[in-house]
Structure 1
Amino acid sequence: MAYQALYRKYRPDSFDGVAGQKAIVQTLINAVKQQKIAHAYLFCGPRGTGKTSIAKVFAKMLNCEHQESAPCGSCKNCLDFQNGAHPDIIEIDAASNNGVDEVRNLIEKVKYAPMEGKYKVYIIDEVHMMSTGAFNALLKTIEEPPAHVIFIFATTEPHKVLPTIISRCQRFDFHKVSVSDIVERLQYVLDQEHVQMDEEAVRMIAVLADGGMRDALSILDQCIAYAQDAITIEDINAIYGITTPAEKGLLLHNVIQNNYLEMVNQIEELNEKGIDIRRLTSDLIDLLKESLIYSLTEDEHLISSAYQDVIREQLIQIPKSRRFQMLDVLMDTFEKYRNASDVLSYFEVAMLKLLNIREEKTTAEISSTDSSADNKPKVQPVIQNQMNDLSKADRPIEKPAPEPQIPSSDLPKKENDVSRETSKQPAMSLEPRETAEKKQECLFDMEEEAQKEQSATKEEPSLMIDDTYVLRLLVGANKQERQMDDEKFRDLPDYLNELDWAKYANAIKNTEIVASGKNYIVLSAASTIEAKEINQIEQKEGFLSFTNQLLGISKKVFAIDHEQRKRVIGRFKEQMIQGKLPEPVHIEVKKEKKQKETVKTTEEKLTDLFGDEIVFMEE
């Protein structure tokens, strides 16, 4: 006898052999017991989830002669169906019988009574392949079929079925089979086939099947052909190009330790072995996700047993904030694989980004430390000396020992001797408290002079906004405001050529909205120069009139460059995870006073926009 594939050999012949779909199975069993059988059913869901198998078991159950134990598998109707010779259970492939003529032929046969069973059951597979004309031809028959006819439609794409057909059927949505149900069914098949397989390998097949029982049996069939009677996880990895948990752990270990060379060499080795890069990326995402679950719950039962050692020994040492950032990079890369011609290059770039996360964080920490150090008040050396003198002045003054009197005529005369003597004489006559108070007054005078000198030599304030202030702006923003501003920001090109608004529109035409609050908007410019120009216009003139014209509400404009945007958003995510976000900024926008508008001529408008040196008016 010719070899039969496992998914055909172990197709369930009763509801007990169906993996998953317990709610659907129970509903159909109850319908038969209570004699509440509909005239048309629609089974829809992913491939390999049991739609056709359940349809056949249901048809067999309807025509079984022993309704108490249906399907019994021993009566004539059950045996005829198992041999594929039952005249009243008809299977139709809609992919090859999708025309109007085939449907008309079916309608002609519907009116005839069943030959052996109680019902004539039509199982139409891939029903979405039928043409619109065929659906319309079948519409009336489905709505009012003979009492002995039951239609069961199966499809993987229910959105392609006409709504008029769906509304006349009882719809059952099949879901992907869970990993545990697939494992249970695979264990049964392995026992029947007398094949040994590791538990880890069985679970790997269930994961690879992605919710499809038929796919799981096909994978098992291929593994048996490769490894015969004893299958290990290494065999599955070799067949399907999957990395082991140890290899994934080593790859992430190189990332953690900043081993650039070892990481690149390992990626090349995996590529030479034919590893599926898409699957590797998905596995790394799962590994990081499970490590975060373990860090947050500390429950090993919630994570895969294959990953427990890697998580405990390596990943648990990485800060949770960094693991979240690594997940963002990998998930974004996995999304880009759809349109990628060279998946390996995308993966290598993603891994380099993972290595760079730590460097960016370190740089941000250093900059924040430097900024905090810069914000500390600095004491001028002169003032510090005066403070030291003040501390000395608080001490009691000891009178010096009397010096021998020397005639002044015997000493050499020098300039300023008289002034020095006169300056010393009053100090000697003061009491210690008076000396301290006088020195304190002198200190305050010198501090005031130092502040004046500092303010006189101080440069203009920086046009770039502080990271902390931008962070507080992001905290006070909300998604709804941003969505509204994004919609209205599309009208910006309409103002580029208007004389009244061209200056403001051109200033922000190459920006993106980072966040929007009730009274403000944060924009991201491509360069620092562009951001400074926008902030300069905001400081001197303001964008209130223009934002009122563009957005329908007056808002202050804050501009940052792309680097600052990336840096601040990283801090926002990290502090949000830690629950340490600062208080939002409260922005108040003063209403502009209405002034008498002076009507400007075209020449004046052009001069304001381009300058006197460019505009020349001619008659």
Structure 2
Amino acid sequence: MAYKALYRTYRPNGFDEVAGQTHIVQTLQNAANQNKIAHAYLFCGPRGTGKTSIAKIFAKAVNCEADHNRPCLKCENCISIGEGTHPDIVEIDAASNNGVEEVRDLIEKVKYAPIKGKYKVYIIDEVHMMSTGAFNALLKTIEEPPAHVIFILATTEPHKVLPTIISRCQRFDFTKVSKCEIVGRMNEVLAMEKITCEPEVVRIISQLADGGMRDALSILDQCIAYAQDNIQTKHINEIYGITTVKEKLQLLFSVYHKEGSQLMAQINTMVEKGIDIKRLTIDLIEILKESIIYDYTKNDSLLKILTIDEVRKVKVNKTTKDRLEMIDILMDTYDKYRNAASVSSYFEVCLLKMMSVEEINTNDLVEKKEKPVVKHNVEIVSRETIPNQIEVKEDKNEFNETSEVEELPLFEEIVEEPTNKASKPLEDELILQLVVGANRDMRVRDEDNWSKIENYLSEIKWAKDAMILNNARIMASGEQYIVISVDNQASANEINEKDSNNEYLEFMKEILGQEKKIYAITRDQQVRVITDFKIRREKNDLPLPIEFKEFKEAKIGKEIELSDEEVILNLFGNENIIIKED
């Protein structure tokens, strides 16, 4: 026996087997059961959404011999219609029978009574292909057909059908079948065909089908022909020249971290493998779009492509605004593909443009500084030893220089930073020093851990801290501190005030794996500091980083312990210190 394609083998026989189109199925089923049948119907919608299948099921229902639950699929009429042998069910392809003569022949046959069933049903597919003359010839018959005749017109382009025809029909608009329903139907088919298939393959097919159940089964048919009875993700990737979600994320991460060489290598590999660049562009748009949807909803049930962990990775380093800007670049490039001599070249330029989207972290820039970094240590001495003076030593130059405290504002910043007092917004210069002393690898590691804060929102012990810090983003990370940015100054002040009492140390150890001080600033201050950093880097005028002293963890309900240095500082004042540089 000749092979029968899956979409024909598993075409629905009854209303209960139809995937999607619930509103249409329910209406037609009620009409058949209650004998409230119109003389003409217009089925509109995308290809492969069930227009012809439902037309045939409706033809069974109106001719079914059962009293209830039509079609019964057991009577002689239902069986013969299903086999395509019923004399009263006529299918016409308007693409090849669109002339006036064909329509006149149809009209001549309409007046004859049904041979076997109760109704003669004419199913005219792609009706928009009929000529104007043919439409006009059919017009009168559709308006006042014999009582035993039903017309079902199907089209993917209803705007090409004459308004006078549309006004004489009950119109039903078919929608794309949801991915969930496509996945469910394909799993049923795979089970009946006894074929094993990776879940990722089914998910990819549901995306490729773009709402068409017939397209989904055709793609599955092709995969079965290629991979036999064990379909893996690599098989569909090879057949259709598509990339995995992991590969797409790697592409985005190369853009995020401005790794140009790696990015070009990835694109070249994809081009050599015959990857569909246009489809890849759309996929990148969908990935970024899903991450933004999650930003605004926090609802993981809306994620169709990414997992929660993948969304968190996509969000790292990039604000919602940044990702929206990237989507604009991708959409603009996709629009230009139609006139492109080389699609891959346009795609390369597109990703290079995305690399230029301003990054919210400055640690990548810190690694490019030209001036050697000299760290400061603070030593506390008695009043008798050295009154009103500061001694500065540099390891390389080995010179001593003395000056009045007023002339060296650096001391004031060094004294302020370990306690992180939050009575007022943090100074830009302090944040700049923290950024200079930060470490990129440390920041990347902390960002990965920071994304887990959402998991602590429902834990009683950590919920309060997690709620306050959930919307913050890491700007810079050092060995003993992090700099974060928040939406407004009030939030920044609240975080800094709590951290000045060491209230976040335990939570930071839980999240980041070690105790770290927090310095909170606003997004506006972040932009200002980044701009200042760039200007001063060009001038080779970046400040020296801050060397942190050990800090004690505050115990809840107990007085905070001060270090020996802090006790002496309180006793003798700020003016009696020596600053030594390694």
Question: Equivalents in 2 of 1:83, 1:308: separation in Å?
Answer: 48
Q: Which residue matches 2:245?
A: 245
- Structure 1 SS opposite 2:172: strand
Question: Equivalents in 1 of 2:43, 2:180: separation in Å?
Answer: 23
TM-aligned CA deviation for residue 291 of structure 1: 1.6
Question: Equivalents in 2 of 1:164, 1:314: separation in Å?
Answer: 52
* Structure whose residues are more often helix by fraction: 1
Deviations 1:318-350 (A, max 9, x none): 222211211111111112223323211111110
Question: Equivalents in 2 of 1:273, 1:80: separation in Å?
Answer: 49
Contact 2:317 2:361 in 1 (8 A): no
TM-aligned CA deviation for residue 79 of structure 1: 1.7
Matched to 1:83, the amino acid is E
Matched to 2:259, the amino acid is N
Matched to 2:88, the amino acid is D
TM-aligned CA deviation for residue 358 of structure 1: 2.6
Question: Equivalents in 1 of 2:311, 2:359: separation in Å?
Answer: 23
Question: Equivalents in 1 of 2:283, 2:326: separation in Å?
Answer: 13
Question: Equivalents in 1 of 2:361, 2:278: separation in Å?
Answer: 28
Matched to 1:195, the amino acid is I
Q: Which residue matches 1:530?
A: none
Deviations 1:96-130 (A, max 9, x none): 11111111111111111101100011001111111
Q: Which residue matches 1:99?
A: 99
Contact 2:107 2:138 in 1 (8 A): yes
Q: Which has the larger radius of gyration?
A: 1
1:152-551 mapped onto 2 (5 Å cutoff) = 152-304=152-304, 306-358=306-358
Normalising by structure 1, we get a TM-score of 0.57
Contact 2:60 2:81 in 1 (8 A): yes
Question: Equivalents in 1 of 2:44, 2:97: separation in Å?
Answer: 19
The runs of 5 or more residues in structure 2 that have no matched partner are 366-522, 528-582
TM-aligned CA deviation for residue 201 of structure 1: 1.5
Contact 1:245 1:307 in 2 (8 A): no
Question: Equivalents in 1 of 2:277, 2:247: separation in Å?
Answer: 13
Bigger RCO (CA 8 Å, 6+ sep): 2
Contact 2:29 2:70 in 1 (8 A): no
Matched to 1:200, the amino acid is E
Q: Which residue matches 1:42?
A: 42
Normalising by structure 2, we get a TM-score of 0.61
- Structure 2 SS opposite 1:86: coil
- Structure 2 SS opposite 1:114: coil
The runs of 5 or more residues in structure 1 that have no matched partner are 366-573, 579-619
- Structure 1 SS opposite 2:168: coil
Question: Equivalents in 2 of 1:55, 1:180: separation in Å?
Answer: 24
Q: Which residue matches 1:32?
A: 32
- Structure 2 SS opposite 1:69: coil
TM-aligned CA deviation for residue 305 of structure 1: 6.0
1:120-135 mapped onto 2 (5 Å cutoff) = 120-135=120-135
Q: Which residue matches 2:427?
A: none
Deviations 1:245-270 (A, max 9, x none): 22111111111111111111110011
Deviations 1:52-75 (A, max 9, x none): 000000001111111313211121
- Structure 1 SS opposite 2:122: strand
Matched to 2:129, the amino acid is M
After TM superposition, the structure 1 stretch with the greater mean CA deviation from structure 2, 152-161 or 327-336, is 327-336
Give the alignment's Cα RMSD to 1 decimal: 2.0
Question: Equivalents in 1 of 2:287, 2:314: separation in Å?
Answer: 11
Question: Equivalents in 2 of 1:169, 1:31: separation in Å?
Answer: 15
Matched to 1:13, the amino acid is N
Question: Equivalents in 2 of 1:282, 1:290: separation in Å?
Answer: 12
Q: Which residue matches 2:442?
A: none
Contact 2:13 2:57 in 1 (8 A): yes
Matched to 2:191, the amino acid is D
Matched to 1:60, the amino acid is K
Q: Which residue matches 2:4?
A: 4
Question: Equivalents in 2 of 1:109, 1:272: separation in Å?
Answer: 58
Matched to 2:160, the amino acid is K
Contact 2:256 2:317 in 1 (8 A): no
- Structure 1 SS opposite 2:234: helix
Q: Which residue matches 1:59?
A: 59
Question: Equivalents in 2 of 1:300, 1:85: separation in Å?
Answer: 49
Percent of pairs identical after alignment?
64
Q: Which residue matches 2:477?
A: none
Contact 1:333 1:347 in 2 (8 A): yes
Q: Which residue matches 1:18?
A: 18
